[in-house]
């Protein structure tokens, strides 16, 4: 065992995480004393704390290179900064849009925003993990908080079922991941990413056991990002969990898991590109195709969004499959745009109420364009963006990942990807058809002010899609470069 | 005019009008009325602006004019660049001319959701003009595919009974073609490091790669044109779209396909263009003959004109790939002529459709008796569609046939049969609708063209005759650019030929 000196700890690098942990505990104490009526202030405070943490995350990230902390267990770089901003802000917005729903549906418990903050802390740890052990710890912190939030409406069967299902399958995947990690440790003698990279470089013929470990590790991570064939939990959990929680699931944890996946594969396992590229290509193709085809027959908007998110993960993996700086840039740009679009879309779903009743069936959306134009048209923008139609932002996300695929000569993958995106267009424009073409006279409730603001902001982002790439691409390129030292 | 961003202004001014309409508030009647007015005024101003492009255009300059450049994604060498040459300039005018016409044509026909309708049309205009002005491939693609959104809504919201099916078919068909082109653009970007169109034109791509890129372009443009056998979305879309939607579809959107071949396939992929010419000839000949026969059998006026569009666009594709000056000039002229004539024919159908709400040919007959002005307008456009000398249709068809004949006699022979068949179905349509006895009671109370409708048709008639009688004012615009295009193509082919020979001569080749 090497001895660890205090200066190796480098607490400063983990300022955002330490800050979040402290805030979560303080808010917990506050909530315990104030009871459930403090949900709204706790929610706002948590959101503000998350925004501050996002700012801190940018602040501590070095311009170039990597800053290790806690004896190389934890690492801060441009990539971590970029992804943390996305996850933390997404969590903050998810908390804010959940408040109105929580109050109306009797789940206004102060634990909810705190659990989401803790989950965000776990995500932040995952993004910065530089060791298989710290990876696992961060992942489990996030997952445990998420299991509880899925079941937060403990008096409804659907919500508890979703939580239980998520927990059982999540535990299974964690087991696989841990098993893979132990295999990797056994065959290389280290869990440290930097050391793994050193060991694996120049290893012309990697041991079979190592590959098996890598496969198990990938399977565990594929579960977390709900990539096919590890996606089965997604539609059920998305449908069963309370809608704001679903919105949260679709946004922040996905980005964090993709970030983790990217860091693990291009970092320590970068030298094994030839081995894991095949896995990612297959998973990506399956996700895109299944996400496109299986969504066609969905009647429930949340299930539709579940399949849509499976498909979107497939597109992000196209960038990862390239395994190049261009590919990682593609992943970053794609996820940044995905997260805004997803939050916007769920904002609309959260606001779809008729006489106080939530609406989840797509066929019930008829006439939304007449009754609530803001909701309907912003949803139209988000759906076109997800379908990847220019000039909306989503198009540029797809351009970046497919550019990476072409750049890495993955032509077949790119062709399958674009064809799948055309198929997926079918169900996006079907929802648009229901909202805009079909006549309906029924009245919809007006959205909450918070949701209204979120919708306007997300719509502006998506509508000004043509300007988006120039904002994000620079930051994403720099962030991606930090994963490829030398 | 250097320095004054007239192209960007023409492109984005309609968007400003659309934003104005978005913020119109008040009672429904008032909103509808002001939406119509704003749309009409904006599109008219845009048309006047585009006239400035016409008058300031240097006809002897084969290159791009009115160029503008701005940073877009500087780190990736993707810029915003606008410019027109002889090939694209006329299409810009075609778009800006047809948009106010469409808005006028929908003045009374559209009573539901007028606000959204006008916004859709103005956005559509921005995207169309942008498509023709863009000198960056990615920017082109953004405009090109963006067109799908307003058109999807126009067909889907304001269309006929089977509008949903047609809108979906239109959207998915066109999208499937264009995403493959996107991959081709990315592949070209990978080699050239930029998406700047003039740079890409000067880049030589490996002939093997060219074939794949060319096929990807074909997937996109063939659907847009549309070429047989991927034309089936067009009759559906035309039949279900509101009149103005059909007008824009036939008048401008189909031309984007032909424009794409001329702007991208030919200059960027010269070897593959030569290689695939027989394929294009075959598809064009089939399109001309087959769809003309199909048109003969139609019972629905709009469907008939839709099929005639496919046949006329068959002339265009054949002309483009004859790869000589006459053929390409003819194709361009034919596109312009068809843009005006088919648009006008759809407007003619719209006139009677507004009165009877039926497109069935059998429901009409003898309209000459109570609608003489209408019969006259319809006659002019029918003759132009048939290709009667003195109208615009003749010049284009003639030039295309000369061009194709120079390259391939048999192709020219088969294409010429299209002219005869075209005369058959159009004259027959005219006879069934206009002539005969006025027997049906509901037709008797039809009123002749209103002043608004006259205002729509008169300029179109004048343009059709002008193009037919003095085509030089139009061919003069694209002369220099087409000459340049053909010359560059021939030099490129000659050079590659030389390179090939050198490879064969040099020892060690073919290892």
Question: Quick check: B447 contacting A, CB < 8 Å?
Answer: no
What does the DSSP 8-state code read for residue A11? G
Determine how many CB atoms are found less than 10 A away from the CB of residue A361.
Answer: 11
Percent of chain B with pLDDT over 90: 21
Contact assignment for B145 to A390 by CB distance below 8 Å: yes
Strands (DSSP E) along B419-473, which ranges? Answer: none
What mean pLDDT do residues B436-451 have? 80
pLDDT at A1: 47
Element (H, E) at A134: helix A132-150
In angstroms, the CA B69 to CA B83 distance is 9
In angstroms, the CA A378 to CA A392 distance is 12
Q: SS3 sequence, B269-298?
A: CHHHHHHCHHHHHHHHHHHHHHHHHHHHCC
pLDDT at A332: 93
pLDDT band at B111 (very low <50, low <70, confident <90, very high): confident
Structure tokens at A402: 């497919």
* CB proximity under 8 Å: A 366-405 to B: 384, 389-391, 395, 399, 402-403
Of the partner residues B75, B142, B175, the one whose CB lies closest to the CB of residue A425:
B175
Which residue of B112, B141, B142 is the best one to mutate when testing the A interface, meaning the one whose CB has the most A CBs within 10 A?
B142
In angstroms, the CA A322 to CA B377 distance is 60
Reduced to 3 states, what is the DSSP secondary structure of residue B26? coil
In angstroms, the CA A95 to CA A88 distance is 11
Short-list A348, A124, A95, CA closest to A245: A95
Give the pLDDT confidence of B448-498 residue by residue, as tens digits: 888 888 888 898 999 999 988 898 888 888 888 888 888 888 888 887 777
What does the DSSP 8-state code read for residue B82? E
pLDDT at A259: 92
pLDDT mean across residues, chain A: 88
Contact B97, B71 (CB under 8 A): no
- Using CA atoms, how far residue A327 sits from A412, A413, A422, in Å, is 16, 13, 22
Q: Examine the pLDDT at B129 and tell me if it is beyond 70.
A: yes
Torsion angle, alpha carbons of A187, A192, A198, A203, to 10: 20
Of the partner residues B74, B149, B183, the one whose CB lies closest to the CB of residue A414:
B183
Partners of residue A464 on adjacent β-strands: none
Structure tokens at B406: 């120079």
Structure tokens at B139: 């920017």
Element (H, E) at B73: strand B65-73
pLDDT at A402: 93
Determine how many CB atoms are found less than 10 A away from the CB of residue B229.
Answer: 11
The number of angstroms, rounded, from the C-alpha of B7 to the middle of its chain's C-alpha atoms is: 19
- Record the pTM: 0.91
In angstroms, the CA A78 to CA A480 distance is 7
pLDDT band at A17 (very low <50, low <70, confident <90, very high): very high
Task: Identify the residue whose tokens are 């991208």.
Answer: B264
pLDDT at A128: 92
Contact assignment for B145 to A389 by CB distance below 8 Å: yes
Q: In chain B, which residue's Cα lies nearest the Cα of A381?
A: B149
Q: Examine the pLDDT at B345 and tell me if it is beyond 80.
A: yes
What mean pLDDT do residues B339-363 have? 87
In angstroms, the CA A329 to CA A484 distance is 11
Q: In chain B, which residue's Cα lies nearest the Cα of A476?
A: B75
* Interface size between A and B, measured as CB pairs under 8 A: 82
In angstroms, the CA A238 to CA A227 distance is 14
Which residue of B124, B145, B179 is the best one to mutate when testing the A interface, meaning the one whose CB has the most A CBs within 10 A?
B179
Q: Examine the pLDDT at A121 and tell me if it is beyond 90.
A: yes
Q: Which of A448-452, B7-11, B218-222, B353-357 has the highest mean pLDDT?
A: B218-222
Contact A301, A431 (CB under 8 A): yes
Q: Examine the pLDDT at B210 and tell me if it is beyond 80.
A: yes
Contact assignment for A419 to B179 by CB distance below 8 Å: yes
List Cβ neighbours of A238 (8 Å cut-off, separation of 6 or more): A246, A249, A250, A302, A303, A305, A306, A309
pLDDT at B499: 65
Which residue of B82, B168, B175, B191 is the best one to mutate when testing the A interface, meaning the one whose CB has the most A CBs within 10 A?
B175
pLDDT at B511: 38
pLDDT at B156: 87
Determine how many CB atoms are found less than 10 A away from the CB of residue A3.
Answer: 6
pLDDT at B508: 46
Question: Quick check: A470 contacting B, CB < 8 Å?
Answer: yes
What does the DSSP 8-state code read for residue A366? T
pLDDT at A65: 79
Contact assignment for A419 to B163 by CB distance below 8 Å: no
Question: Quick check: B20 contacting A, CB < 8 Å?
Answer: no
Of the partner residues A391, A415, A418, the one whose CB lies closest to the CB of residue B146:
A391
What mean pLDDT do residues A285-306 have? 90
Reduced to 3 states, what is the DSSP secondary structure of residue A100? helix
Chain A hits for B167, Cβ within 8 Å: 433, 437
Q: Does A471 or B380 have the greater pLDDT score?
A: B380
pLDDT at A486: 59
Of the partner residues B143, B152, B175, the one whose CB lies closest to the CB of residue A422:
B175
Q: In chain B, which residue's Cα lies nearest the Cα of A395?
A: B142
Q: In chain B, which residue's Cα lies nearest the Cα of A427?
A: B168
Contact assignment for A422 to B172 by CB distance below 8 Å: yes
In angstroms, the CA B54 to CA B10 distance is 12
Structure tokens at A305: 């969004």
Question: Quick check: B142 contacting A, CB < 8 Å?
Answer: yes
Short-list B339, B347, B341, B305, CA closest to B456: B347
Chain A hits for B153, Cβ within 8 Å: 436
Which residue of A330, A405, A406 is the best one to mutate when testing the B interface, meaning the one whose CB has the most B CBs within 10 A?
A406
Percent of chain A with pLDDT over 90: 44
Give the pLDDT confidence of B281-324 residue by residue, as tens digits: 999 999 899 999 998 888 888 889 899 999 999 989 999 998 88
Determine how many CB atoms are found less than 10 A away from the CB of residue B473.
Answer: 11
| Complex-level ipTM | 0.89
Integer-rounded Cα Rg, in Å, for chain B is 23
pLDDT band at A87 (very low <50, low <70, confident <90, very high): very high
In angstroms, the CA A426 to CA A296 distance is 7
- Phi, psi of B79, rounded to the nearest 5 degrees: -120, 170
Strands (DSSP E) along A353-401, which ranges? Answer: 353-354, 357-358
In angstroms, the CA B111 to CA A317 distance is 47
Q: Examine the pLDDT at B510 and tell me if it is beyond 70.
A: no
In angstroms, the CA B472 to CA B476 distance is 5
Partners of residue A117 on adjacent β-strands: none
pLDDT band at B509 (very low <50, low <70, confident <90, very high): very low
pLDDT band at A4 (very low <50, low <70, confident <90, very high): low
In angstroms, the CA B269 to CA B209 distance is 9
pLDDT mean across residues, chain B: 87
What mean pLDDT do residues A270-281 have? 88
Short-list B380, B375, B357, B381, CA closest to B433: B375
Element (H, E) at A332: helix A325-351
Q: Examine the pLDDT at B160 and tell me if it is beyond 90.
A: no
Torsion angle, alpha carbons of B28, B30, B33, B38, to 10: -110
In angstroms, the CA A154 to CA A146 distance is 14
Distance from CA of A212 to the nearest CA of B (A): 34
Contact A404, A272 (CB under 8 A): no
Determine how many CB atoms are found less than 10 A away from the CB of residue A105.
Answer: 15
What would the DSSP string read from start to end of B55-71?
A: HH--TT--S-EEEEEEE
Q: SS3 sequence, B329-397?
A: HHHHHHHHHHHHHHHHHHHHHHHHHHHHCCCEHHHCCCCCCCCHHHHHHHHHHHHHHHCCCCCHHHHHH
Contact assignment for B175 to A389 by CB distance below 8 Å: yes
In angstroms, the CA A74 to CA B251 distance is 62
In angstroms, the CA A397 to CA A380 distance is 18
Task: Identify the residue whose tokens are 């000589």.
Answer: B324
In angstroms, the CA A268 to CA A263 distance is 8
Q: In chain A, which residue's Cα lies nearest the Cα of B186?
A: A403
Chain B hits for A477, Cβ within 8 Å: 75
Q: Examine the pLDDT at B66 and tell me if it is beyond 90.
A: no
Chain A hits for B152, Cβ within 8 Å: 429
pLDDT at A203: 66
In angstroms, the CA A54 to CA A15 distance is 11
- Using CA atoms, how far residue B135 sits from A230, A316, B140, B500, in Å, is 44, 30, 7, 31
Partners of residue B398 on adjacent β-strands: none
Structure tokens at B110: 């559209």
In angstroms, the CA B464 to CA A198 distance is 75
Contact B345, B430 (CB under 8 A): no
């Amino acid at each position: 065992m090497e001895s660890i000196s205090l200066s190796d700890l480098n607490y400063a690098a983990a300022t955002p995480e330490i800050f979040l942990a402290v805030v979560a505990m303080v808010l917990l104490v506050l909530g315990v004393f104030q009871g459930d009526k403090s949900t709204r202030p706790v929610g706002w405070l948590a959101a503000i704390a998350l925004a501050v943490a996002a700012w801190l995350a940018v602040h501590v990230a070095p311009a170039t290179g990597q800053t290790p902390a806690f004896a190389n267990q934890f690492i801060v770089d441009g990539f971590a900064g970029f992804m943390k901003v996305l996850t933390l802000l997404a969590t903050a917005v998810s908390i804010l849009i959940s408040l109105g729903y929580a109050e109306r549906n009797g789940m206004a418990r102060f634990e909810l925003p705190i659990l989401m903050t803790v989950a965000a802390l776990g995500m932040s740890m995952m993004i910065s993990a530089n060791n298989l052990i710290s990876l696992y710890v961060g992942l489990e912190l996030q997952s445990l908080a998420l299991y509880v939030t899925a079941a937060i409406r403990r008096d409804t069967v659907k919500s508890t079922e979703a939580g239980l299902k998520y927990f059982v399958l999540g535990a299974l995947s964690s087991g696989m991941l841990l098993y893979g990690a132990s295999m990797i440790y056994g065959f290389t003698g280290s869990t440290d990413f930097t050391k793994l990279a050193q060991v694996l470089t120049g290893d012309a013929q990697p041991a079979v056991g190592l590959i098996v470990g890598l496969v198990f590790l990938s399977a565990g991570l594929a579960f977390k990002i709900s990539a096919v064939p590890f996606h089965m939990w997604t539609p059920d959990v998305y449908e069963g969990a309370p809608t704001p929680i679903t919105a949260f699931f679709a946004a922040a944890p996905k980005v964090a898991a993709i970030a983790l996946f990217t860091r693990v594969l291009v970092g320590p396992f970068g030298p094994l590109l030839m081995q894991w590229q095949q896995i990612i290509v297959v998973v990506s193709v399956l996700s895109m195709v299944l996400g496109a085809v299986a969504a066609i027959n969905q009647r429930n908007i949340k299930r539709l969004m579940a399949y849509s998110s499976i498909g979107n993960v497939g597109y992000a993996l196209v960038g990862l499959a390239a395994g190049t700086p261009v590919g990682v840039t593609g992943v970053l740009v794609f996820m940044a745009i995905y997260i805004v679009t997803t939050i916007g879309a769920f904002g609309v779903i959260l606001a779809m109420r008729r006489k106080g009743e939530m609406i989840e069936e797509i066929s019930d959306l008829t006439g939304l364009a007449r009754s609530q134009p803001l909701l309907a048209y912003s949803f139209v923008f988000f759906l076109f963006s997800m379908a990847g139609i220019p000039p909306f932002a989503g198009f540029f996300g797809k351009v970046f990942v497919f550019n990476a695929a072409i750049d890495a000569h993955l032509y077949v993958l790119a062709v399958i990807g674009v064809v799948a995106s055309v198929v997926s267009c079918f169900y996006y424009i079907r929802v648009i058809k229901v909202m805009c073409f079909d006549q309906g006279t029924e009245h919809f409730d007006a959205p909450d002010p918070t949701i209204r603001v979120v919708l306007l902001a997300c719509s502006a982002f998506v509508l000004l899609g043509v300007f988006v790439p120039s904002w994000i691409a620079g930051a994403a390129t720099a962030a991606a470069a930090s994963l490829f030292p030398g | 005019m250097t320095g004054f961003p007239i192209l960007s202004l023409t492109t984005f001014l309609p968007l400003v009008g659309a934003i104005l309409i978005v913020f119109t508030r008040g009672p429904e009647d008032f909103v509808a009325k002001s939406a119509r007015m704003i749309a009409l005024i904006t599109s008219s101003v845009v048309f006047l602006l585009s006239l400035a492009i016409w008058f300031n255009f240097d006809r002897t300059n084969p290159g791009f004019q009115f160029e503008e450049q701005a940073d877009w994604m500087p780190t990736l060498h993707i810029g915003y660049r606008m410019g027109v040459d002889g090939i694209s300039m006329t299409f810009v005018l075609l778009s800006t001319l047809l948009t106010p016409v469409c808005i006028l044509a929908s003045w009374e026909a559209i009573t539901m959701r007028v606000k959204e309708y006008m916004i859709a049309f103005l956005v559509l205009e921005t995207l169309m003009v942008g498509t023709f002005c863009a000198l960056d491939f990615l920017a082109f693609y953004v405009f090109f595919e963006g067109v799908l959104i307003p058109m999807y809504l126009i067909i889907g919201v304001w269309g006929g009974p089977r509008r949903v099916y047609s809108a979906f078919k239109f959207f998915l068909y066109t999208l499937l073609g264009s995403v493959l082109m996107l991959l081709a653009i990315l592949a070209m970007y990978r080699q050239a490091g930029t998406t700047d169109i003039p740079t890409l034109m000067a880049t030589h791509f490996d002939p093997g790669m060219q074939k794949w890129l060319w096929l990807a372009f074909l997937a996109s443009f063939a659907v847009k044109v549309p070429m047989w056998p991927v034309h089936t979305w067009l009759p559906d879309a035309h039949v279900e779209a509101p009149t103005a939607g059909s007008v824009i579809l036939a008048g401008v959107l189909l031309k984007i396909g032909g424009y794409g071949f001329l702007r991208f396939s030919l200059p960027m992929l010269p070897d593959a263009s030569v290689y695939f010419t027989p394929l294009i000839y075959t598809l064009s000949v089939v399109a001309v003959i087959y769809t003309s026969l199909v048109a003969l059998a139609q019972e629905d006026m709009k469907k008939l004109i839709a099929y005639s569009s496919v046949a006329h666009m068959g002339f265009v594709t054949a002309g483009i790939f004859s790869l000589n000056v006459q053929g390409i000039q003819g194709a361009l002229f034919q596109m312009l002529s068809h843009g005006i004539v088919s648009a006008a024919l759809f407007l003619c159908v719209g006139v009677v459709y507004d009165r009877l709400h039926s497109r069935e040919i059998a429901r009409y007959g003898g309209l000459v008796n109570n609608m003489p002005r209408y019969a006259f307008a319809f006659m002019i456009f029918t003759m132009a569609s048939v290709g009667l000398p003195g109208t615009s249709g003749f010049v284009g068809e003639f030039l295309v046939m000369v061009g194709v004949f120079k390259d391939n006699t048999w192709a020219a022979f088969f294409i010429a049969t299209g002219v005869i068949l075209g005369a058959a179905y159009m004259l027959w349509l005219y006879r069934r609708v206009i002539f005969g006895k006025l027997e049906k009671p509901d037709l008797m109370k039809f009123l002749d063209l209103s002043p608004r409708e006259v205002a729509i048709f008169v300029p179109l008639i004048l343009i059709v005759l002008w193009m037919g009688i003095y085509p030089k004012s139009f061919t003069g615009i694209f002369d220099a650019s087409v000459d340049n295009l053909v010359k560059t193509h021939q030099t490129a082919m000659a050079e590659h030929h030389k390179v090939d020979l050198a490879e064969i001569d040099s020892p060690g080749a073919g290892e």
